[in-house]
Homo-oligomer: A and B are copies of this chain.
Amino acid sequence: MAKNLTTRKEDYSKWYNELVVRADLAENSAVRGCMVIKPYGYAIWEKMQAQLDKMFKETGHQNAYFPLFVPKSLFEAEEKNAEGFAKECAIVTHYRLKTDPDNEGKLIVDPEAKLEEELVVRPTSEAIIWNTYKGWIQSYRDLPILVNQWANVVRWEMRTRLFLRTAEFLWQEGHTAHATKAEAMAETEQMNNIYAEFAETFMAMPVIKGRKTESERFAGAEDTYCIEALMQDGKALQAGTSHFLGQNFAKAFDVKFATKEGGLDYVWATSWGVSTRLMGALVMTHSDDNGLVLPPNLAPIQVVIVPIYKGEEQLNQISEVALQLQSDLRKAGISVKYDDRDTQKPGWKFAQYELQGVPVRIAIGPKDLEKGSVELARRDTLKKEFISRNEVVDKVQSLMVEMQDNMFKKAQVFREEHTTRVDSFDEFKKVLKEKGGFISAHWDGTAETETKIKEMTKATIRLIPFDGEKEEGSCVLTGKPSAQRVLFAKAY
């Protein structure tokens, strides 16, 4: 395992924190709760962005950009939304600093530069966007509006963790406007499906699709769809949400449209988002005690080639082969790095790329030159083999598919092994304590029971699965009738 890296078994939480920093994904900054996303981490996020953006555009969405600030009077217009975010938002009150008259090298806030109205740094953009849409929408001809924004948002969280919960984070937020309820509901479902497809196909992370209970809904939504994944410590992670907002924001901002039939109606809305939190989910789904394990579809470097040599002549001979391989692989669409730095030894490089989760490592030494072979190691299983140089491109191409698939299946098996059907509250508590994971149990449908279970066990209802069988039963806590099992878990 990687030198000095805490193992998952020793302390899962510490393992995660260490790994994110040591693999050069991110680090804490001088600003409380805000992170620096380092180049290697950002390169993964860019791959996520590019793929999601493609999927959004293929389904007719366009990008736009709305202001960072929300005037307080707009912020409070949709009451539930405001209530949900008011307690954790950064507020701009002044627009100038001046030299401290008592201390010349220092600056202080200039009391004369106080804003007439305070500005909230956006924790989410429904308010500012619906205030804008009011000017864009007059008639059914102006609908639908299918807009997405890539942006930073700020939620003043008290306990933060790199990627999983930070005061500032990066995300995308889609905000759509529709003429009918049915259209808005279809959009809500479509985007949740896109998130699921992205998670499973690109992150190799199996997810369950469903809806949130009323108490877990987005503030201001009528329905929240979500995808939930299971981490290796048995805790669930909400990986994406898609909200059906009904006419709430249209009413709050008075956005009406002339219908085809000649009437006047409020516009129907959705919003949906995923964030840099996905980076945390990616790390926690696949990585091991040696470091990151990245799915080939999101790895910034898919193959690294390391020369093993003594002296410059040997290096030159190996480099000739390596650069040819690099060129052949690149032609096949594989991203490759040839690391011929002489400042680091091969062993150091092996450990480093293992730590950083590069899917395939190719090593070439003097013996390989003689034999026309290379040593190829795959990151997911840590298996090594010698193959002929001529086979490398084909082998790597098939490995990209195989590893992506293997990682998904491994995570899927883990999730299945950690999803337990329970029918009594004692069993509920026992499974939660000893095994964790998803607990599939009956619930009487009341917020009261949900809260009680949360207070007693720290487990929450993660979602009401869409594909859950409509099996009747009795609530695991109250014994009252229930029409469907829901999934409980402790969660990030």
Residue positions of A touching B, CB distance < 8 A: 27, 29-31, 34-39, 42-43, 45-46, 62-72, 74-76, 79, 82, 86-99, 105-107, 109, 118-121, 128, 131-132, 135, 141, 147, 151-152, 154, 156, 168, 170, 343
Contact among B71, B82, B88 with A30 in the assembled complex (CB-CB below 8 Å): B71
Question: Which B-chain residue is minimally distant from A127 (CB atoms)?
Answer: B30
Contact among B39, B94, B343 with A64 in the assembled complex (CB-CB below 8 Å): B39
Question: Which B-chain residue is minimally distant from A38 (CB atoms)?
Answer: B64
| Chain B: minimal CB distance from A195 (Å) | 22
A87 & B92 in contact (Cβ 8 Å cutoff) = no
B39 & A63 in contact (Cβ 8 Å cutoff) = yes
> Lowest 5 A-B CB distances belong to which pairs?
A39-B62, A34-B67, A37-B65, A86-B97, A95-B156
- A94: B residues at CB distance < 8 A: 90-91, 93
Question: Which B-chain residue is minimally distant from A154 (CB atoms)?
Answer: B68
Contact status of A64 and B42, CB under 8 A, knowing A29-B128, A135-B27: yes
Contact status of A89 and B95, CB under 8 A, knowing A63-B42, A63-B43: yes
Question: Which B-chain residue is minimally distant from A65 (CB atoms)?
Answer: B37
A91 & B86 in contact (Cβ 8 Å cutoff) = no
B67 & A168 in contact (Cβ 8 Å cutoff) = yes
Contact status of A107 and B95, CB under 8 A, knowing A30-B131, A168-B69: no
Q: Compute how far the CA of A46 lies from the CA of B62 in the bound complex, rounded to whole angstroms.
A: 11
B98 & A86 in contact (Cβ 8 Å cutoff) = yes
| Chain B: minimal CB distance from A28 (Å) | 10
Question: Which B-chain residue is minimally distant from A67 (CB atoms)?
Answer: B34
Contact among B79, B88, B106 with A96 in the assembled complex (CB-CB below 8 Å): B88
Question: Which B-chain residue is minimally distant from A131 (CB atoms)?
Answer: B30
A-B pairs with beta carbons under 8 Å apart, 20 shown: A29-B128, A29-B132, A31-B70, A39-B147, A68-B154, A68-B168, A72-B107, A75-B107, A76-B106, A76-B107, A79-B105, A82-B97, A89-B96, A90-B95, A91-B95, A92-B92, A92-B93, A93-B94, A96-B156, A121-B121
